[in-house]
Chain A
Amino acid sequence: TIKIATVAPEGSSWMQKMRAGAVEIKTRTAGRVLLKFYGGGVMGNEKSVFRKMRVGQLQGGAFTGGGLSKMVPDMMLYGLPLLTRSVGEMNYVRQQMDNQLIQRLDQSGYVCFGFASGGFANLMSQQPVASVEDLKGKKVWVPEGDTISYEVMEGLGVAPVTLPLSDVLTGLQTGLVDVVATSPLGALAFQWYTRVGYITDMPLVYITGALVVDKRTFSRLSADDQQIVHEVLGQIYHEIDQETTVDNEQALQTLLDQGLKLVPPADGEFSRWNKVATQVIDAVAERGTFPAALYDQARQHIKDYRQHQPLASAQ
Chain B
Amino acid sequence: MITATLVLGLLALLGMPLFAVIATGALWGFYQADIDLAVVAIEFYRIAEMPVLLAIPLFTFAGYLLSESQAPGRLVNLTQALIGWMPGGLALVSLAVCAFFTAFTGASGVTIIALGALLYPALRQADYAENYSLGLVTTSGSLGLLFAPSLPLILYGIVAQQLNIGPAISIDQLFLAGIFPGLLMLLLLGGWSCWKNRSIRQPLSEFSWKKVGIAIRQAIWELPLPFVVLGGIYSGYFAVSEAAAVTAAYVFLVEVVILREISWKKLPEVMHRSMVLVGGILIILGLSLASTNVMIDSGMPERLFNFVQQTVNSKLTFLLLLNLFLLCLGALLDIFSALVLVVPLILPVAVGYGIHPVHLGIIFLANMQIGYLTPPVGMNLFIASYRFERPITQLYRATWPFLVLLLICVALITYFPQLSMVLL
State whether these chains interact: yes
* Interface residues, chain A, with chain B CB atoms under 8 Å away: 3, 9-10, 38, 40-45, 47-48, 51-52, 55-57, 163-164, 167, 169-171, 173-176, 191, 194
Question: Is A44 a contact of B242 with CB atoms below 8 Å?
Answer: no
* Interface residues, chain B, with chain A CB atoms under 8 Å away: 30, 35-36, 38-39, 42-43, 45-46, 49-52, 161-165, 168, 170-173, 233, 236-242, 293, 296-297
Contacts A38-B296, A170-B52; A175 near B36 (Cβ below 8 A): no
Contacts A42-B163, A174-B241, A176-B239; A169 near B168 (Cβ below 8 A): yes
Question: Is A57 a contact of B297 with CB atoms below 8 Å?
Answer: yes
Question: Is A175 a contact of B51 with CB atoms below 8 Å?
Answer: no
- Complex Cα–Cα for A8 and B233 (A): 29
- Complex Cα–Cα for A56 and B38 (A): 10
Contacts A38-B296, A41-B164, A43-B293; A174 near B171 (Cβ below 8 A): yes
Q: Name the CB-closest residue of A to B168.
A: A191
- Complex Cα–Cα for A3 and B170 (A): 29
A3 neighbours in B (Cβ, 8 Å)? 297
- Complex Cα–Cα for A164 and B241 (A): 16
Question: Is B296 a contact of A170 with CB atoms below 8 Å?
Answer: no
Provide 9 A-B residue pairs closer than 8 Å at the C-beta atoms, listed in order of the A residue: A10-B164, A44-B46, A48-B46, A48-B49, A57-B297, A170-B161, A170-B170, A175-B238, A176-B241
B42 neighbours in A (Cβ, 8 Å)? 44, 48, 51-52, 55
Question: Is B51 a contact of A167 with CB atoms below 8 Å?
Answer: yes
Contacts A164-B49, A167-B50; A176 near B242 (Cβ below 8 A): yes
Contacts A48-B42, A51-B42, A57-B39; A175 near B164 (Cβ below 8 A): no
5 A-B pairs closest in CB distance: A173-B170, A55-B36, A176-B239, A174-B239, A40-B164
Q: Which of B38, B163, B240 contacts A174 (CB 8 A)?
A: B240
Which residue of A42, A163, A171, A175 has the most chain B CB atoms within 10 A of its CB atom?
A: A175
Contacts A42-B163, A167-B50; A56 near B36 (Cβ below 8 A): yes
- Complex Cα–Cα for A44 and B46 (A): 8
Question: Is A44 a contact of B49 with CB atoms below 8 Å?
Answer: yes
Question: Is A163 a contact of B242 with CB atoms below 8 Å?
Answer: no
Question: Is B49 a contact of A175 with CB atoms below 8 Å?
Answer: no
Q: Name the CB-closest residue of B to A126.
A: B236
Question: Is A45 a contact of B49 with CB atoms below 8 Å?
Answer: yes
Question: Is A175 a contact of B237 with CB atoms below 8 Å?
Answer: yes
Question: Is A55 a contact of B52 with CB atoms below 8 Å?
Answer: no
Q: Name the CB-closest residue of B to A36.
A: B299
Contacts A41-B164, A48-B46, A167-B51; A175 near B239 (Cβ below 8 A): yes
- Complex Cα–Cα for A55 and B172 (A): 37
- Complex Cα–Cα for A306 and B38 (A): 51
Question: Is B168 a contact of A163 with CB atoms below 8 Å?
Answer: no
- Complex Cα–Cα for A42 and B162 (A): 7
Given A43-B296, A57-B35, 17 additional A-B pairs, CB 8 A: A40-B163, A42-B163, A42-B164, A52-B39, A55-B39, A57-B36, A57-B39, A171-B51, A171-B239, A173-B170, A173-B171, A173-B173, A174-B52, A174-B171, A174-B240, A175-B236, A176-B51
Question: Is B51 a contact of A9 with CB atoms below 8 Å?
Answer: no
Q: Name the CB-closest residue of B to A41.
A: B164
- Complex Cα–Cα for A174 and B170 (A): 7
B168 neighbours in A (Cβ, 8 Å)? 169, 173, 191, 194
- Complex Cα–Cα for A56 and B39 (A): 9
A48 neighbours in B (Cβ, 8 Å)? 42-43, 45-46, 49
Which residue of A9, A43, A173, A176 has the most chain B CB atoms within 10 A of its CB atom?
A: A173
Question: Is A170 a contact of B51 with CB atoms below 8 Å?
Answer: yes
A41 neighbours in B (Cβ, 8 Å)? 164
A10 neighbours in B (Cβ, 8 Å)? 164-165
- Complex Cα–Cα for A175 and B170 (A): 11
A176 neighbours in B (Cβ, 8 Å)? 51, 239, 241-242
- Complex Cα–Cα for A171 and B239 (A): 8
B297 neighbours in A (Cβ, 8 Å)? 3, 57
- Complex Cα–Cα for A176 and B241 (A): 8
- Complex Cα–Cα for A3 and B35 (A): 12
In the assembled complex, how far is the CB of residue B396 from the closest CB belonging to chain A, in whole angstroms?
41
In the assembled complex, how far is the CB of residue B147 from the closest CB belonging to chain A, in whole angstroms?
18
Q: Which of A9, A51, A163, A173 contacts B164 (CB 8 A)?
A: A9
A43 neighbours in B (Cβ, 8 Å)? 293, 296
In the assembled complex, how far is the CB of residue A124 from the closest CB belonging to chain B, in whole angstroms?
16
Q: Name the CB-closest residue of B to A51.
A: B42
Question: Is B51 a contact of A163 with CB atoms below 8 Å?
Answer: yes
B170 neighbours in A (Cβ, 8 Å)? 170, 173-174
Q: Name the CB-closest residue of B to A49.
A: B42
A174 neighbours in B (Cβ, 8 Å)? 52, 170-172, 233, 239-241
B164 neighbours in A (Cβ, 8 Å)? 9-10, 40-42
- Complex Cα–Cα for A163 and B161 (A): 15
In the assembled complex, how far is the CB of residue A164 from the closest CB belonging to chain B, in whole angstroms?
6
A169 neighbours in B (Cβ, 8 Å)? 168
In the assembled complex, how far is the CB of residue A210 from the closest CB belonging to chain B, in whole angstroms?
22
In the assembled complex, how far is the CB of residue B238 from the closest CB belonging to chain A, in whole angstroms?
6
In the assembled complex, how far is the CB of residue B165 from the closest CB belonging to chain A, in whole angstroms?
7
Q: Name the CB-closest residue of B to A56.
A: B36
